[in-house]
Chains A and B, each alone.
Chain A
Amino acid sequence: MTPRRQRTLVVIGILVGAGIGTAVALTAFSGNLLYYYTPTQALSKNLGPKDVFRLGGLVEKGTVERKAGSLTIRFIVTDNRNSIPVVFTGILPNLFRAGQGVIVNGHMSNRGVFVANQVLAKHDSDYMPLKLYNKENGTRYTEPGQMNRGAGYGGP
């Protein structure tokens, strides 16, 4: 075996070794690498009021209710199989709207409602010009910069 061959094998060995090591570690921790639970996963785990976790899913259309005169909002997060009602008081991100993905951080109350202290919106990686969207749907969606307010709220 020439020295160069030997060095080639060593380099490949390092790469394969590091790859296998990382793969084993990531598999072992794969549960912790999940950033959120879906409603189905959350319900199957029977989590109580003391278990703080993140819940992710779609905001069910037609379920967004804002309490008048406050920042409190109620909506249902669903994965199209199971759903969990959520209550949140605070400022929502721009991308929050019905039918879109959200991740909420908080805990389950005793009455089966998820009490959120943070709402994050997930981008669906779909892009479309605003004008085209309004043309296809026959409505003004939202003005840029005024998202989630007024008519656009609750969404199509």
Chain B
Amino acid sequence: MAGRATPWLIGLTLVLMAAGLVGGLWLAPPDYQMGDGFRIIYIHVPSALLSMVVFAVMAVASAVGLIWRIRMAHAVTAAAAPIGAAFTFIALVTGALWGKPMWGTYWVWDARLTSELILLFLYFGYLALVHAFPDRRTGDQAGAILAIVGAVDLPIIHFSVQWWTTLHQGATLKLSGTPMPVSMLWPLLVMMLAFLCYFAWLLMVRLRAEILRREYRARWVEKI
């Protein structure tokens, strides 16, 4: 299944990413306050979205793995974790680079930035934990519990800009009345889709490798 889906995902990712980048970097007009500086949104927002989507996928897979005792589900969590950590890191770095000229600082300890940093540490914690046990099954279970508990951070990140006063601005993308004209909006949505496909592609590749690594003693692997 993964083998057949991967070429489609690669193609879809490349097409969407090319369209999103051309739209975001050339076609979208400069912003009235930030000039061309606003264009980092086309990387920052999709990365931040994916940092949360990936962790949600990990939490669901972990719950499935714990409840139905499916080893495959734990492999999904393990395969997704480094990808999610990378997206979180990109979101934090692009945010800092934008923050310096626009806000006047790279970093502040407000609720949004801090909770996103905690998410990065949750990814690191998961990766450290699953590899800390000599027995992989114990590591999988410990990691799964961490992923489920850590999912509590996701609503905190999302609602932090509403619950507390933060330097980070509120959400731009809203179901009703987005304060962004279509010419600037569509490349953003395309980039978000592109990042989702990119994640699916990477997950397929990594999941195959993860399963092969875990089942290297099984007879079907020997045949390959």
Do residues A121 and B67 form an inter-chain contact, with CB atoms below 8 A?
no
Do residues B110 and A130 form an inter-chain contact, with CB atoms below 8 A?
no
Contacts from B to A (Cβ < 8 Å): 29-38, 63, 66-69, 101-105, 108-111, 145, 148-149, 151-152, 156, 163-167, 169-172, 179-181, 183-184
Do residues B102 and A121 form an inter-chain contact, with CB atoms below 8 A?
yes
Measured in the bound complex, the distance between the Cα atoms of B33 and A94 in whole Å is 8
Other-chain residue from A11, A95, A143 in contact with B34 (beta carbon distance below 8 A): A95
Asked, given contacts A132-B29, A144-B36, whether A22 binds B145 with beta carbons under 8 Å apart, the answer is no
Query: 24 A-B contacts, Cβ less than 8 Å apart?
Result: A7-B66, A14-B148, A15-B149, A18-B148, A18-B149, A18-B152, A33-B163, A35-B109, A56-B165, A93-B104, A97-B33, A120-B105, A123-B34, A125-B169, A127-B179, A127-B180, A127-B184, A128-B31, A129-B32, A130-B32, A141-B32, A142-B33, A144-B37, A145-B36
Do residues A8 and B30 form an inter-chain contact, with CB atoms below 8 A?
no
Q: Which residues of A contact B152 (CB under 8 A)?
A: 15, 18-19, 22
Q: Which residues of A contact B164 (CB under 8 A)?
A: 30, 33-35
Contacts from A to B (Cβ < 8 Å): 4, 7-8, 10-11, 14-15, 18-19, 22, 26, 30, 33-36, 38, 56, 91-97, 103, 118-134, 141-145, 147
Do residues A127 and B111 form an inter-chain contact, with CB atoms below 8 A?
no
How many contacting A-B pairs (Cβ < 8 A)? 131
Do residues A130 and B103 form an inter-chain contact, with CB atoms below 8 A?
no
Other-chain residue from A14, A93, A119, A130 in contact with B102 (beta carbon distance below 8 A): A93
Do residues B148 and A144 form an inter-chain contact, with CB atoms below 8 A?
no
Other-chain residue from A11, A34, A36, A94 in contact with B67 (beta carbon distance below 8 A): A11
Q: Which residues of B contact A124 (CB under 8 A)?
A: 169
Q: Which residues of B contact A123 (CB under 8 A)?
A: 33-34, 102-103, 169
CB of B173 to closest CB in A, whole Å: 9
**CB nearest to A123 among chain B residues:** B169
Asked, given contacts A4-B68, A30-B164, A103-B167, whether A129 binds B103 with beta carbons under 8 Å apart, the answer is no
CB of A55 to closest CB in B, whole Å: 11
Residue among A91, A96, A123, A143 having the largest count of chain B Cβ atoms under 10 Å: A123
Measured in the bound complex, the distance between the Cα atoms of B37 and A143 in whole Å is 12
Measured in the bound complex, the distance between the Cα atoms of B155 and A19 in whole Å is 10
Do residues A33 and B167 form an inter-chain contact, with CB atoms below 8 A?
no
Q: Which residues of A contact B32 (CB under 8 A)?
A: 128-130, 132-134, 141
CB of A118 to closest CB in B, whole Å: 7
Other-chain residue from B37, B67, B145, B148 in contact with A8 (beta carbon distance below 8 A): B67
Measured in the bound complex, the distance between the Cα atoms of B106 and A118 in whole Å is 13
Measured in the bound complex, the distance between the Cα atoms of B179 and A48 in whole Å is 39
Residue among A30, A122, A125, A128 having the largest count of chain B Cβ atoms under 10 Å: A125
Do residues B30 and A129 form an inter-chain contact, with CB atoms below 8 A?
yes
**CB nearest to B63 among chain A residues:** A11
